[in-house]
Structure formats: structure tokens, C-alpha cells
Chains A and B, each alone.
Chain A
Amino acid sequence: MIEFLLLFPVLAFPLLYFAKKRSLNRVMLVTYMLGQSACALLLANGMIAHLSASPGISPFFAADALGRLFFYLLTILFIGAGIAGMRFLSRQKDERWDTYYTGFTMLFVASMNGVIFSAHLGLLWVFIEATTLTSAVLIYYDRTRTSLEAAWKYIFVCSIGIAFAFVGIIMLTIGAGGKDSLFFADLVFNAKTFSPFWLKMAYVFLLTGFGTKVGLAPVHAWKPDAYSEAPSPVAVLLSGSLANCALVGVIRATGIMNSAGAAHFAASLLLVMGVLSLLIAAVFMLRVRNYKRMLAYSSIEHMGIAAVGLAVGGPAAFAAMLHLAGHSLVKGSLFLTASNIEKFTGTKESSSVRGLIRIDRGTGWLWIIGLLAITAFPPFSTFLSEFLLLKTIFSKGMIALAVAILFFLTVILFGMVSPIFRMSFGTPENKVNEATRSVWDYLPQIVFLCAALALGCFVPSGLRELLQGAASVAGM
């Protein structure tokens, strides 16, 4: 199964590159989407024992609870982003870049699949490098000066982050004291025998490095630029899946720390980065004038909440996993709606958009409902996860932390509600682009929001076990 997920885009890319035909691009993309969905269904039904057929590759990939959870999320988001991407590309004229978009999207999803299923720390690191390279091309899609600037910042900051993460891996091997295996199972098993000093140093570097890709403050600087300049279907994958994949690295590293008995150290670092992310998001949300940058800061906020949840541990770690699932779905729907807004208004400035509901009723209402979902209104699942997180924090007696989080969330709520309401209501002022509408422009986001709503009302027991299993990988 993993061979298909990884090799299909690699083999398809030269084909697409030399043919440069739109129809072939569509066919390949849909094939990969269907293939990934089939893999997800097979995995969910427990019909796959080993991810790989060949014994040489088999030890390097494993599908534990964390991997399965993020794989299902990635598949769902990929279907939505793929549909929106095809709608987006049908409005573009450049056929060469149509091919690049399709090819690199498939490679991007393939490298994320690699990150999710890696059972080896070194392999995980290589796949995260691959995600940086493939998504940088996608961020540059518009080929304007600003998108070049965004792509450059993205590559540079993430490359330095990756280099830091590698230093962390080296320090882990220094502290390993002769047990030279970078497989996660072995690392967790041997962690108690590692030298504590090197383990902690390694964790600092790993957290900084992988945290750069997650977008935790203070290494978040690339996020607003990249999310605002990338085409919105790409931003769906960036915000919903890439952050999760990088978080896989953080969670597995935390699991190693936990089994070595250094959980407190890891928790304090995660807590600092999480609260700092909330602070940065709150501060910048009030100043931001571009609605896609606003969504980027919202991503930073939610990753901060997930980090805090992992740090606090126990039911809060479960809440963090639930939060990641809900956030991926809701942020995906918001970016898909943003794609529609860009289509109709041709601008990314919040102040230039007015009266969305009158321009296009579906888009306007989806924008508002998405806002409600992302700011954690009941009965969406984001409310459930944030409530559970705060309940755990209160029950552990960390009142100051809870008050701080609530304060930041309130500021962020204010910062998001004003522009979004102003964008949705009122009368349209500026010229509106005439654009075709189709059910596919609305269906993915409606499905995502309904899924988030359903998750908030009822978490099926299978899913609950999956979330619990994912939380236990961090072991906090």
C-alpha cells in the first residue's frame, strides 16, 4: 500500500511533465485521490496487516493510531483540496503551470503520507524535507513578486528549522550510548538508558526544528506569508495536513522524552511555545488586513492550543487530538470558502470585501458558519475539544494558565469576528467578477463543516479509541 502512495506521484510526474495536457493532469490527480481513499477505507476496515508487501521496506513504515488518524484526515482534506484545485485550475490559462500544480500537489501529498507512516526518525526527517521542497513550488504558483517573497521565506525558514531538527537527531544519537537504531519503537524502548543531558538537548532542537514546520511561535514567521500567497486549495493542505504532519514529529519526540522520564521538561517547553503562539496570534489578529493571513494566525493559535493540550497531558492530550481533527476540517472549509471569495472579489484585503451574502449567498453563509466553527462555538467539535482542555487545566489547578488561554481566545474571537462580519454583511461596493458557480464549489466545505458538527455532537467509539491511541503516543 505504501508503495502506491509514495511511488505513484513520483512515476506520474515525468509523464505529466512531458505530456503537459490538462486532461491527463485531471485523470492522474483523480486516480491518486481515489487510490488514497481506497487505501484509507482498507486501512479503516483493518484489512491491511502490513503497509508494505516487501520485507525490506516493511520495518520502515508502520500505521499506529497516530498515523491512521492523520492519514484519514489527510485523505479527506486531499479530496476536498483536489476538487477545489481542479475548479481553481479550470479558471487559469497557463497549461505548463497546470501540470506543475498537479504534479507537485501529488508529490506533496505523497511526502506527507511518508511523514505520517514513517517508523524511523531519519526517514520522517527526510520526508519533512520533501514536503518543504514540494510545497514551495505550490506557494510560488502565482508567480508574482509577493508570492516569490513568500516562497523564499518559507524555504529559508523551514530549511533552517530542518537543519536544527537534524542537529537534534545527531544529539539523540550522541546520547544513545551505542544503541544505534533510530526506529521509534527502539528509541522509546531504550530511552531510559539515554544520557539525560543529551536527550534534553536533542528535544530542544527537535522541538524547535519540527515546531518551525508546525508554525509554533516563535518560529512561525513564514506562516502568514505562505498561507496568504499560496492558492487557497494549496493552503487547505498546508493548514490542515502539513501542520499535523510536522506535529507527528513533535508528538513522537515527546513520546521518547516521556518514556525516558523527562516528561516534565518536554511539557514545560511545549507549554511555553503553545502559550506564546496564542499570544502572537492574539496580538496580530487585531492588526491583520488580509483575510488569508487572518486564517494563518488562526492556524498558529490552534496549533498553540494543541501544544498546550499535549503539555498538560491526560484528557487534555485526547482533547488536543480531537482539536487537531476538528481544526483540520474547519480550517479546510474556511480556505475553500476563501477560494470562492477570491474568485468573486479578486482581492485578499478584508476591507475591500463587503456584502458577501449578497454577492453569493452560499459563500457568505459558509464564511460565517466557518467563523463560528473556528472560534469554537458549540456544537462544533472545536468547542468540545477546547472545553475538555480547559476543564483538564482547571482540574489540575493551573488557574493562571486557564485564565491566560481564555483571555487570548477572547481577543482572537474579537479579532476574527469583526472582519468576517464586516465582509459578509452590508452591500457590495466594488466590482464583482462574473464567475461560474457549481455545486463543487460548495460541497466539500459543507461536508467538512457537517463532519465537524457531527464530531462535536457525538464521537463514535472507534474514533474515540483512535484519538486515545494517538494521544498515548505522546504518552503525557
Chain B
Amino acid sequence: MTDVLVILFGLTMLYISATGMLGSYVRMLTAQGILLFLIAVINTNEFNFAGFVFVALETLILKAGLIPWFLNKTIRDNEMVREVEPNIPNFFSVLIVSLIFAFGFVLASWSIRAGNNLIPLQFGISISTMITGMFIIITRHKLITHVMGYMIIENGIFLLSLSAAKEMPVIVSLGVSLDIFMGVLMAGLFISRIKSSFEDHDVDTLSNLKD
């Protein structure tokens, strides 16, 4: 059952690589949050009820609720709609992310043969998600897209921690704090109104400091 959810999770990556609309990025992040919530709930290794509730609620509230809401608010306030043409045209973007996706499956099958105590498909897809997140950061211009790329990396790390959760359930809770970190960061940016950090939407303007 979770295999289907994990595959859907990987498919959101393909969609992100293809689209140019910032709203779609956020919608995919919300979808990823919901999928992770379902995976966490179905595959839970937490024997402690309070810990289970904590992880489940955090996933839903932060990943699928608060952080996409912050991002949407920033996008609306700054009237950004679409990402400018990235460094690599969208076609090649989709191609490369498909290759990364395939690499994830290769990793999954390696994991089965190597006999680790992991959930193979989750492991493979999580690594490929992290690589895709980095790819998004490298090839996109807007700062807000960089933040979303970082969220994608975080989602991948969360999935990785879920796949390793048989070993150590507490690791998932630790990974949760990474999300809280991001949430605190965005709250801080909001509350002190440093929206100007996204005003000059382009990362190319961040090149004043250099030698």
C-alpha cells in the first residue's frame, strides 16, 4: 500500500520539474506533505502513542499546512506568478529528473540485494528526491523557488528517516525538528517583514558580495 504512495511522491517530483507556475510548486509541496503523512501513519513504528501523534500531526500541519500557506502568502504578496525560464529549458529538466527518478529505482533494487534493514522503495525514492531538490535549487532563478527546493530536500530526508525508522523510531522525530526549523525561519522572515528578501526575486541580484 505504501509503495503506491511512495511512487506518487516520486511523480510529484516529475511534475515540479516540468511546471513553471509557482503556485504549482506549492501545490506539489502540499501533496507531498499529505502523502508523507499517510506513509508515516500507515508504516508507523512508534509504539509510543504520544510520539505517533506528534509525528503525524507535525507532518500534516507543518508540511501540508503552514509552510505551503507561508509560501503562498509570499507569492501573492509579491505578485509573482511564474518562474522565469530556468537555466535549463523545461524539457531537459524533465528529462534529467526522470533519470534521477530511474536512479532511485536502481538504488532501491540495490538496497534489496544488499540486504539492509530498510524499506527499499522508500530509500530509493528518498535519495532521488534529495538529488532532485538540489537540482531544482541549482537550475532555478527565483529565491522562493530555492526555498521550495530546500523543502523538497527536507521531504526527501523525512522519507529517508521513515525508511530507516525500523532501526530507530526517534530519528523520525528528530527529522521533524528540521521542519520546525524551516517553519521558524519562515515565521521569522514574515514577522520581521523581510519580504524584501524575496522582492528582488532573482538570485542573480545576490551577487553584490564577492572578491
Contact = CB atoms under 8 A, between A and B. Distances in A.
B167 A174 contact: yes
Interface in A114-164: 122, 125-126, 129, 133, 137, 140, 145-146, 148-150, 152-153, 155-156, 159-160, 162-163
A425 interface: no
Interface stretch (A246-254, A287-295, A439-447, A464-472): A287-295
Given A129-B177, A163-B178, A166-B157, A149 B206 contact: yes
Contacts of A289: 211
Given A173-B171, A288-B211, 5 more contacts: A133-B188, A149-B206, A159-B181, A166-B157, A178-B117
B153 interface: yes
Contacts of A152: 143, 197, 206
B48 interface: no
A146 B208 contact: yes
Contact of A156 (B146, B154, B157, B174): B146
**Chain B interface, DSSP helix/strand/loop, else mixed:** helix
Contact of A180 (B116, B157, B161, B170): B170
B168 interface: yes
Given A122-B174, A146-B209, A163 B167 contact: no
Contacts of A122: 170-171, 174
A160 B151 CA distance: 10
A148 B205 CA distance: 12
A224 B171 contact: no
A149 to B, nearest CB: 5
Interface residues of B, number: 35
Main secondary structure of the interface of A (DSSP, over half): helix
B18 interface: no
A417 interface: no
A167 B130 contact: yes
Listed residue (B116, B118, B130, B171) with the most chain A CB atoms within 10 angstroms of its CB: B171
19 contacts: A122-B171, A126-B174, A129-B181, A137-B188, A146-B208, A146-B209, A152-B143, A160-B137, A160-B150, A162-B181, A163-B154, A166-B178, A173-B168, A174-B117, A176-B168, A178-B117, A180-B168, A195-B116, A224-B211
B78 to A, nearest CB: 15
Given A163-B157, A167-B130, A284-B211, A176 B174 contact: no
B91 to A, nearest CB: 27
B160 interface: yes
A105 B168 CA distance: 35
Interface string A84-121: 00000000000000000000000000000000000000
Interface residues of A, number: 42
Contact of B194 (A148, A167, A178): A148
Contacts of A173: 164, 167-168, 171
A180 B196 CA distance: 44
A347 to B, nearest CB: 15
B10 interface: no
A170 interface: yes
B57 interface: no
